[in-house]
Structure 1
Amino acid sequence: MPLSPFNIYNQFVAEASQAAQVRQLKRTIKENANFNYAANESIREMVSTSEYTQSKT
């Protein structure tokens, strides 16, 4: 029964739901300038640590 109306409907709903989640994620990334992208720390945090020293010449 893979082509039963219920299976087709359930497949359609699942794909529509997944597409909506992807659109929402893309919208969140676009609207939020602070989106993390799974980075451990920002570049600003990395260069402002005490381990980073800028040589003065």
Structure 2
Amino acid sequence: MGRPISNEALLLEIEEKRKQMIQSGLENGLRSAKTIQLSVQVDNLMNAFNQSRSAHLLFKH
């Protein structure tokens, strides 16, 4: 198994994927398969970030 990704790295990846999603939406439309796929990837990254933050807060106390 690989090393867990840091919250900072997750935030950077979220921002990059979000930019790609917006660009795809402009070029291909909001309902295109590519835009929807990128949206799902952004959601997954955001969920991973939120889970990581929650775990960090739980174990911090």
Alignment RMSD (CA, Å): 0.7
Identity of aligned residues (%): 9
Structure 1: gaps of 5 or more residues: 34-57
Question: What amino acid does structure 1 have at the position aligned with 2:38?
Answer: N
Between Structure 1 and Structure 2, the one with more helix by share is 2
Structure 2: gaps of 5 or more residues: 1-28
TM-score using structure 2 length: 0.51
Relative contact order higher in (CA < 8 Å, ≥ 6 apart): 2
Equivalent-residue separation in structure 2 for 1:4 and 1:17 (angstroms):
20
Q: Which runs of 4+ in 1 moved over 4 A?
A: none
